[in-house]
């Protein structure tokens, strides 16, 4: 049973939830931060530099989840979806 009110408030029901029925983690999911096909800003940063470019999301992802992105060269890269709709590439 879920007890985190903030998680439940922002969650999306995966099926009908009866009134006064306990809510479990299998009944809800977090909202998508990025949708498949969406143009996203991809960035990587290190000591004293930051690289930014655009790509298209291959799959949907919630914040802090792994996502695959196709960049203009056709290469597919994997990064972390952020809540603001951008993607961070770990170095």
* CATH code for position 88: 2.30.30.760
Q: Are the CB atoms for 80 and 42 separated by under 8 Å?
A: no
The pLDDT assigned to 4 comes to 65
Q: Do 26 and 69 belong to one domain? A: no
The pLDDT assigned to 59 comes to 98
The pLDDT assigned to 84 comes to 96
Contacts of 46 (CB under 8 A, 6+ apart): 91
The pLDDT assigned to 5 comes to 66
The pLDDT assigned to 6 comes to 63
Q: Do 82 and 61 belong to one domain? A: yes
The pLDDT assigned to 63 comes to 94
Range of the domain at 11: 1-30
Q: Are the CB atoms for 42 and 79 separated by under 8 Å?
A: yes
Domain count, the chain: 2
In the predicted model, residues of the chain with pLDDT beneath 70 are: 1-8
> Which tokens in the block code for residue 53?
């470019």
Provide the whole-model pTM. 0.77
The pLDDT assigned to 54 comes to 97
Q: Do 46 and 86 belong to one domain? A: yes
Three-class SS state of 8: helix
């Amino acid at each position: 049973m879920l007890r985190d009110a903030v998680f439940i408030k922002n969650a999306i029901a995966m099926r009908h939830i009866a009134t006064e029925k306990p809510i479990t983690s299998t009944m809800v999911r977090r909202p998508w931060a990025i949708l498949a096909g969406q143009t996203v800003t991809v960035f990587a940063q290190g000591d004293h530099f930051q690289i930014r470019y655009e790509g298209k999301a291959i799959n949907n992802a919630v914040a802090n989840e792994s996502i695959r992105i196709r960049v203009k060269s056709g290469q597919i890269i994997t990064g972390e979806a952020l809540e603001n709709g951008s993607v961070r590439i770990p170095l």
